[in-house]
Chains A and B, each alone.
Chain A
Amino acid sequence: KQEVTQIPAALSVPEGENLVLNCSFTDSAIYNLQWFRQDPGKGLTSLLLIQSSQREQTSGRLNASLDKSSGRSTLYIAASQPGDSATYLCAGNTNAGKSTFGDGTTLTVKP
């Protein structure tokens, strides 16, 4: 059974700092991994989808990496802004499309 862990549960950084969010998974037989952002009271917004055959994906100031052998994915956010404040969730997906989510890291970027 897949288990996904995100540590730390909360992170506070000053504006402009580069930061890394971590996601660990127990079953290396994942098909892909997806990173999401969730603002308070809202649904999830997809940020990046990284396939098991890829090592990283980039979108703007975001870069996600995937290392199946170590069971880890990271989300790198460059030059953080107050608007980046949100909860970031990762989900490991099987080839049947079943998703297992972590509990998220709540990021606060202080002006």
Chain B
Amino acid sequence: EAGVAQSPRYKIIEKRQSVAFWCNPISGHATLYWYQQILGQGPKLLIQFQNNGVVDDSQLPKDRFSAERLKGVDSTLKIQPAKLEDSAVYLCASSLERVSEQYFGPGTRLTVT
């Protein structure tokens, strides 16, 4: 069974630029999560999708972050414009259902200079 795929693995941008991350969940998984992990901390949930609908985006900074899940499969997370404090690893995870075991991708390490 293929795992959660993410790209790119690394990205370096200057502040005020825009960036997009892509995630392909495990086939058949209805729930998809995007997390932000700052060095030395645990992941923080940004947004949760159930199929192609948003379940929870209460911690998503909506003035600069946006996300979508096309046809309930792949998902894209965008930051525009980026700030220095957005430097972090962005993790995508998926689960069969909302309360099932979560499986994580390798993450995208973002550096904003």
Co-complex (A, B): yes
List A residues at the B interface (Cβ < 8 Å): 4, 31-32, 34, 36, 41-46, 49, 89, 91, 93, 95-104
The answer to whether B107 touches A101 (Cβ under 8 A) is no
Instruction: Compute how far the CA of A103 lies from the CA of B39 in the bound complex, rounded to whole angstroms.
Output: 10
In the complex, per-residue mask of B100-111: 1 if CB is within 8 Å of any chain A CB, else 0: 111111110100
Instruction: Compute how far the CA of A88 lies from the CA of B50 in the bound complex, rounded to whole angstroms.
Output: 27
A-B contact count (CB 8 A): 62
Instruction: Compute how far the CA of A32 lies from the CA of B98 in the bound complex, rounded to whole angstroms.
Output: 11
Least distance between A55 CB and chain B CB atoms (Å): 18
Q: List 13 additional A-B contacts (Cβ < 8 Å) besides A44-B43, A91-B42, A96-B55.
A: A32-B99, A43-B104, A43-B105, A43-B106, A44-B93, A46-B102, A89-B43, A91-B43, A97-B55, A97-B98, A100-B45, A103-B40, A103-B42
Least distance between B104 CB and chain A CB atoms (Å): 4
List B residues at the A interface (Cβ < 8 Å): 4, 31, 33, 40-45, 48, 50, 55-56, 91, 93, 95, 97-107, 109
Main secondary structure of the interface of A (DSSP, over half): strand
Instruction: Compute how far the CA of A46 lies from the CA of B104 in the bound complex, rounded to whole angstroms.
Output: 8
Contact A101:B99 (CB < 8 A) given known A42-B106, A44-B104, A45-B104: no
The answer to whether A96 touches B106 (Cβ under 8 A) is no
Instruction: Compute how far the CA of A39 lies from the CA of B95 in the bound complex, rounded to whole angstroms.
Output: 21
Name the residue of chain B whose CB is nearest to the CB of A49: B101
Least distance between A2 CB and chain B CB atoms (Å): 11
The answer to whether B99 touches A46 (Cβ under 8 A) is no
Least distance between A22 CB and chain B CB atoms (Å): 14
Most chain B CB within 10 A, of A4, A44, A95, A103, is at: A44
Instruction: Compute how far the CA of A42 lies from the CA of B103 in the bound complex, rounded to whole angstroms.
Output: 13
A32: B residues at CB distance < 8 A: 99
The answer to whether A103 touches B56 (Cβ under 8 A) is no
